[in-house]
Structure 1
C-alpha cells in the first residue's frame, strides 16, 4: 500500500479527504494527517510517505521552500498542493520543483481524485521516469542552497546556526550541510566566516574603525576567534591586512 499524508490548517478539509476518498482504489492508506506545516514536516520525516496532499498557505510557512525541502530530501515523493494562488510564475516554479498537481481552492473531489490517480501512476512508472526525477531533485536542491545562502548573508552579524538555517529552509541539518558542501565545496561554518571576513576586509580600509569594533560588527563576539579566522582565510592578521590596504 502507498502511504499518503494530508496537511492543511483547515481540519474540515483534512477530515473530509481522509474519510471520503476511496483510498483503497489506488492502493493507498492515509498514514498521517497534520494541521500545520511544521507538524507536517515532522510527520513526513517519521513516516516517509509516498504521496502528500498539502496546503501551502499556512502560518509561518513559505510554500515553495517547503516543497523544495521535501523534494530535495525525498526526490521520489509525489506531491500535490492545494492553493489559493493563481499566479502563473508561482505555479511554474512549483512545477519545476516537482509538484505533480496544483489544485486551486475551492476544489472538488474529482480534481483531487485525478491528482491522486496521477501521483500513483507516476509511482508505478518510477523506473521509466527516473531523467525527470533527477532534474526535479537538482532544481529543488539549488532552490534550497540559494535560500540558505541568502539567509546566511542576511543574518551573519549575529550568532546564526546551521540548525536555524535548516529550519528556515525546511530541511534537516545533516541534509543542508551535505547540500552546502556539494554546491559550494565549503562547510556551513566556512561559508558563514567567509562572508564575515569579506565584510571585515571592506571595513578595515577605514582607518578610523577599531579592529575590535569591526570584529563585533561582523558577528564575532570573541576578538581572539576573529583573529584566528581572519588569518586562516587571508594568511595575515587583520592589522597586517589594514597596513597593506589602507
Structure 2
C-alpha cells in the first residue's frame, strides 16, 4: 500500500523593509562585525552601522546591487556585500593624510531592490528609491554604491530632482565616454547621455570626463560630448601634464 505524503514548501523569506516607506528599499543584506578590536583603533565595519532612521547622520550609504545592463557579463551587483566584507580589515585612520574619520556619523541605509529581468523598470525603481532616500528630512551626504555604471543616470537624476533649485555639475572618472545611443535601450554605456538628454539640471558645459583612454571609444561620441560643451581629459593628457594641473 502506497501512501501519499503531503509536501509543504517553506514560506518564502522576505527581507524586511526599513521603518520609513521608502520605495524599493530593503534593510542592509549583511553586516560583518569584527569581534576583535584594538582599544586604540576603530574598524570600518564596526564604525558603519545600519541606520535606525531616527538618529542624525553625516553620510548615508545607499547600495544598488544592480548589474543587468552590462554589455559584457560581470558581477558588479556583488560590490556592496564585497565592500561590507572588506571593511573588516580597515580602520578609520589614514597615516598618509593624518586624518581619522571616526568622528563622522556614517550609516548604512540599505539596499535598493530591483526586478530580476526588467531593466527599464529596474532603473526607474532605482531613481524613485534614491530620490526618496536623498530627500529624507535629516539631510546627509549620499554615498551610492553600485552596481554597474547604468545606475549613474538614475542616481544623478535623483540628486537633481531632490534639489531642484540647484545646478548640478558632473565629474566623470572613466576610460569610456558612456554616451552611446539608445538603440539597444539603456546600458552601462549610455548613462551620461541619459543624464544630459533627460532635462534635469546638468548642462553639458558642467560635464568633465577624466581618464578617457584606449581603443574603446568612437570619434562620434567624443565629438558629441564636445558638442554638448563637455570637457574631456584623456589619460594620456593627464599623464603628460600631471593631475594637479588637470584639477
* TM-score, length-scaled by structure 1: 0.24
Higher relative contact order (CA 8 A, sep 6+): 2
Instruction: Give the helix-richer structure, 1 or 2.
Output: 1
Larger strand proportion of the pair? 2
- TM-score normalised per structure 2: 0.24
Larger Rg: 1
